[in-house]
Amino acid sequence: MSLLTDAPASAPAATPRSAPAAPRPSRARVPGWWRDAVGVATWASMLVVVALWVAGGGVQAMTGWAGAVTGLGRLTGLVSANLLLIQVLLMARIPVVERVYGQDELARRHRLVGFWSFWLMVAHIVAISVGYAASAGANPFVQFWEMVVDFPGMLLALAGTVLLILVVATSIRRARRRLRYESWHLLHLYAYLGVGLALPHQLWTGQEFLSSPLAAGYWWTLWAAAAGAILIWRIGLPVYRSLVHDLRVEQVVRETPDVVSVTMRGRRLDRLAPLAGQFFAWRFLTGPGWMRSHPYSLSAAPDGATLRITVKDLGDGSHALAQVTPGTRVLIEGPYGRLHPGVRTRRQVVLMASGIGISPIRALLEGLPQQPGEVTVIYRARTEADLALRDEIEAIAGASGARVFYVLGRRIPGRDTWLPETAAGLSDAEALRQLVTDVAESDVYLCGATEWMDAAAAAARECGVPAERIHSERFSW
């Protein structure tokens, strides 16, 4: 059986669009040393925290069993709080951090740091309660209750801890799968309140800060900077951009029975300098629920006047887009993401999409500078009827000389693969090499379901593509 369906040689005409605005070079490319600088700053903050504990007498106080447990409790509390700070900063949309890592990797690091912070917080609570109880000859549970009631800031810390437990519990993969994105997003916002409530007790009761105004000043400055980053990059900048660019829905087009494209027009959109393949967080002011943003990739290369997204009906937010009317105002955050031409390292490029992952891939096909034969598109879908944006893809390919392959059919049962049943006789790497013989010399861009991207990335690596030349964007939450 044939693995693929070739695009026809003569493609139908696409909807006319003005030429995409050239991206600013400074936005497209990121100096390699930036990533190292961000990493060094992160580890330096951890060293400072340990130094605060040592300078506050942490080592000297670890005499005897009770002192050792109490000292360990203080250290885990400081490290946990610092990781909590890092977790907040990872998702603060700080431009330099976002450009270095991209939202895909930042979300994974945010999740990892969050779980470490949580378990260290639990260790802090247990160790402090047991250590104090051993020193006073009391029951640890009684000691914990007395600390909550008598120590300044502890009732606030308890409330903050409960909120953080709620956020962590709903971030476990099994729990997340049971929640709608909208519900999970709303619950996740309580993390900011939890962090704010947990902070004061450290400064009011922590030995490291009571004995050193310099340490207290450093800690206050650090947390004020984190709060400032949230206010500036998560709130201030999006509000400013939404007001200045005044983005409004111009057209809603149904591409397939469950896929719609929404085109928006605004003022001076070239100043946003979005890149093909990037995404925004969108809020359509259509009524209840507008406060919850939804991340959707651009499905056409930006032209300086309009932005377009193509969305599959997968939930409440995406379902409502089909009913959005022209003139509806749109609030934006972004642009975000590293799935753009600026991460390209080779002339040869392979663009692989599955399902609605075709949205940023179609934009990249249009936005990548290319000569005939340099770009190959591999589009995985169940049936031909599910091929969204097909006419546009074939028109762009016809004009640019890109190759397009459609990989159609049901999944191969019982196998983690990017291939359909019709290719069950091939390994994932063999199939990829059959379509793109020089894949090892290419950059590979991926967008689709998480499991599909994992399988496609593994196939690319097996074909000899280094991990740093495999670029992807994940929107799993």
Secondary structure element (H or E) that encloses residue 115, with its range: helix 95-136
**Number of H-type helices and E-type strands within the chain:** 18, 12
Output the pLDDT for position 404.
96
Greatest mean pLDDT among 91-100, 190-199, 252-261, 397-406 lies in 397-406
**What is the tens place of the pLDDT at every residue in 365-407?**
999 999 999 999 999 999 999 999 999 999 999 999 999 999 9
Look-up: residue for tokens 């995409």?
20
Give me the residues paired with residue 262 across strands. 252, 309
Per-residue pLDDT tens digits for 137-185: 888 888 888 888 877 777 777 877 887 787 777 777 776 666 666 566 6
| Residue 241 CB-density burial (10 A; 0-12 exposed, 13-18 middle, 19+ buried) | buried
pLDDT tens per residue across span 450-471: 899 999 999 999 999 999 999 9
Question: 79-102 as b/e, with b when 16 or more CB fall inside 10 Å?
Answer: bbbbbbbbbbbbbbbbeebbbbbb
DSSP tag of 321: G
Which residue segments constitute the domains of the chain, with CATH numbers given? 5-18+340-472 (3.40.50.80), 30-235 (1.20.120), 243-336 (2.40.30.10)
What would the mean pLDDT of 115-124 be, rounded to a whole number?
Answer: 89
Amino acid letter at 423?
Answer: A
Confidence at residue 214, expressed as pLDDT on a 0 to 100 scale: 80
Worst-scoring range by mean pLDDT, 18-32, 80-94, 211-225, 325-339? 18-32
Strand partners, 447: 353
The predicted model scores a pTM of 0.81
Q: Which amino acid is at 455?
A: A
